Chain A
Amino acid sequence: MEFFKTSIDWLSIAVIPVMLLVFLGMGYAKKVKVYEKFVEGAKEGFEVGVKIIPYLVAMLVAIAMFRASGALDILTVVLRPFTELIGMPSEVLPMALMRPLSGSGSLGVMTELMKTHGVDSLIGIMASTMFGSTETTFYVVAVYFGAVNVQRTRYALPAGLVADAAGLIAATLITRALF
Chain B
Amino acid sequence: MFRNLRNLRNLIQPGKKRLFYFHKSHEIIFRSVEIALYFFSAIRNLALNLYCTLGGHAMLNHIWFWMIALAIFIAAGNDIYNEFAAEKPAVQTEQKRNLSEETKLGQVTSAALKGASTGVEIAIGLIGVMALWLGVMKVAEEAGLTRMLARGVRPITKRLFPSIPTEHPAISAMIMNIAANMLGLSNAATPLGLKAMEELDKLNPNKGEATDDMCTFLVINTSAITLIPATAIAIRSSLNSVNPQIIIIPSILAATCATIVGLTTVKLIQRFNRKKAADKNMPKGD
Interface positions of A (Cβ within 8 A of B): 1-2, 4-5, 8-9, 11-12, 15-16, 19-20, 22-24, 26-27, 29-30, 32, 34, 37-46, 48-50, 52-53, 56-71, 74, 107, 110-111, 114-115, 119-120, 124-125, 128-135, 137, 140-141, 143-145, 147-160, 162-164, 166-171, 174-175, 178-179
Contacts and interface: CB of A to CB of B under 8 A. Distances in A.
Given A62-B64, A171-B254, A39 B126 contact: no
Contacts of A2: 245
B185 to A, nearest CB: 6
B250 A174 contact: yes
Chain A contact residues, majority secondary structure: helix
A57 B121 CA distance: 10
Contacts of B269: 155, 159
A158 B139 contact: no
Given A45-B131, A62-B71, 13 more contacts: A27-B140, A37-B142, A44-B130, A45-B135, A58-B64, A69-B107, A115-B239, A120-B243, A128-B229, A135-B222, A159-B218, A169-B257, A178-B250
21 contacts: A12-B228, A16-B185, A22-B145, A26-B145, A32-B143, A34-B139, A37-B138, A38-B139, A41-B138, A57-B116, A65-B71, A65-B115, A69-B74, A119-B244, A124-B236, A131-B229, A149-B208, A150-B214, A154-B209, A155-B57, A163-B265
Contacts of B112: 61, 64-65
A151 to B, nearest CB: 6
Interface string B199-240: 011001001111000110011011110111111110110011
B222 A163 contact: yes
Interface in B249-277: 249-255, 257-262, 265-266, 269
A23 B148 CA distance: 12
A22 B104 CA distance: 54
Contact of B254 (A153, A154, A167): A167
B227 A8 contact: yes
